[in-house]
């Protein structure tokens, strides 16, 4: 796991965007694994700017999102499909039929999970996977206790996650307690993984991910076994890390990229 220390959330966003655009330039028909949440929004904005300037095209890309709430229609303002349309897909040149988000409103949810997993496999697997992290160490909606070999399936959200995400729902609005998420094994099969974390609420999860024992108690810790992970954190999210002297500061990381 390569840990990259940034000062500000803005640096996390711009570096994340740089990695994403580099991936797409190297492989224009990349299969992208995409994430929702507040953390990647700025990063998406940087990528959108590049597309608008004509410096980047996602026309040949396909994308698979990590997760979706069960019980929300795709046009519900809190569904992850809606989030992706608003914050990314509608503003870049990816073809909507090449964007996949689990269907939380399918008649047969179990069958739709199996179908989603096989679509990922049929596409050749994820080339580049973007991740955020939950306060409790979840990736996608793989909550603590998730099987480290799991595939796309239904998960019950933890009370911590429901509480954390309550800010997006109004008081009288239905907030789902179940979600579809790609599995931990599905994520681990991605060829490259970039995890972004900002803010002090993520500090304990970041420490457990990077320096803790590998355990289902912190699902993100499994990433220690992945050969190509970049964990990009701002000063607050990285504040509890004990071995900072071994990690690269963003300036050094950027220079290194320019050298090779």
Residues with a catalytic annotation lie at 67, 136, 138, 143
* The two structure tokens encoding residue 171: 């008081």
Binding flag, residue 34, ligand GLP (CB under 6 A)? no
Q: H or E stretch including 179?
A: strand 178-181
Smallest separation, CB 28 to ligand GLP (Å): 26
Tell me whether residue 27 or residue 226 sits nearer to ligand GLP (CB atom).
226
Distance CA 195, CA 94 (A): 22
Binding flag, residue 38, ligand GLP (CB under 6 A)? yes
| Near ligand GLP by CB under 6 A: residue from 4, 133, 206, 250 | 133
Q: Which stretch binds ligand GLP (CB under 6 A): 5-13, 32-40, 88-96, 182-190?
A: 32-40
Query: By rule CB under 6 A, what string of x and - marks binding of each residue 46-85 to ligand GLP?
Result: --------------------xx------------------
Binding flag, residue 183, ligand GLP (CB under 6 A)? no
* The two structure tokens encoding residue 8: 């500000």
The Cα-based distances of 95 to 85, 138, 140, 151 in angstroms read 11, 29, 23, 26
Residues from 152 through 171 that contact ligand GLP (CB under 6 A): 161, 165
CB 201 within 8 A of CB 134: no
Cβ burial, residue 144 (10 Å; 0-12/13-18/19+): middle
**What letter would DSSP give residue 136?**
T
Smallest separation, CB 41 to ligand GLP (Å): 8
Chain centroid, CA 106 distance in Å: 23
Smallest separation, CB 83 to ligand GLP (Å): 10
Binding flag, residue 104, ligand GLP (CB under 6 A)? no
| Near ligand GLP by CB under 6 A: residue from 35, 47, 180, 194 | 35
What are the phi and psi torsion angles at 5 (to 5°)?
Answer: -95, 125
Smallest separation, CB 54 to ligand GLP (Å): 29
Distance CA 50, CA 29 (A): 17
Q: What number of other Cβ atoms are within 10 A of residue 243's Cβ? A: 9
The Cα-based distances of 138 to 20, 21, 41, 205, 236 in angstroms read 22, 26, 18, 9, 18
Q: Which stretch binds ligand GLP (CB under 6 A): 51-59, 130-138, 205-213, 227-235?
A: 130-138
Binding flag, residue 102, ligand GLP (CB under 6 A)? no
Distance CA 142, CA 131 (A): 12
Position with the least CB separation from ligand GLP: 132
List of residues contacting ligand GLP (CB under 6 A): 35-39, 66-67, 132-134, 140-141, 161, 165
């Amino acid at each position: 796991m390569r840990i990259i220390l940034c000062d500000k959330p803005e640096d996390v966003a711009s570096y994340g965007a740089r990695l994403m655009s580099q991936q797409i330039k190297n492989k224009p028909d990349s299969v992208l694994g995409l994430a929702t949440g507040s953390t990647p929004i700025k990063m998406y904005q940087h990528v959108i700017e590049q597309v608008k300037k004509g410096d980047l095209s996602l026309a040949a890309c396909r994308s698979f999102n990590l997760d979706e709430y069960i019980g929300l229609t795709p046009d519900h303002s809190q569904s992850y499909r809606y989030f992706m349309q608003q914050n990314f897909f509608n503003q870049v040149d990816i073809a909507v039929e090449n964007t996949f988000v689990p269907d939380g409103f399918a008649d047969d949810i179990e069958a739709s999970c199996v179908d989603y997993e096989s679509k990922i496999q049929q596409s050749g697997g994820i080339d580049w996977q973007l991740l955020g992290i939950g306060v409790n160490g979840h990736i996608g909606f793989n909550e603590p206790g998730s099987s480290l070999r799991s595939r796309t399936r239904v998960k019950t959200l933890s009370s911590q996650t429901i509480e954390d995400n309550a800010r997006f729902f109004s008081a009288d609005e239905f907030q789902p307690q179940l979600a579809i998420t790609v599995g931990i094994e599905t994520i681990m099969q991605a060829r490259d993984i970039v995890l972004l974390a900002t803010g002090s609420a993520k500090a304990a999860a970041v420490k457990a991910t990077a320096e803790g024992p590998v355990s289902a108690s912190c699902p993100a810790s499994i990433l220690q076994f992945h050969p190509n992970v970049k964990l990009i954190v701002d000063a607050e999210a990285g504040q509890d890390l004990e071995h900072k002297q071994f990690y690269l500061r963003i300036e050094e990381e950027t220079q290194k990229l320019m050298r090779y």
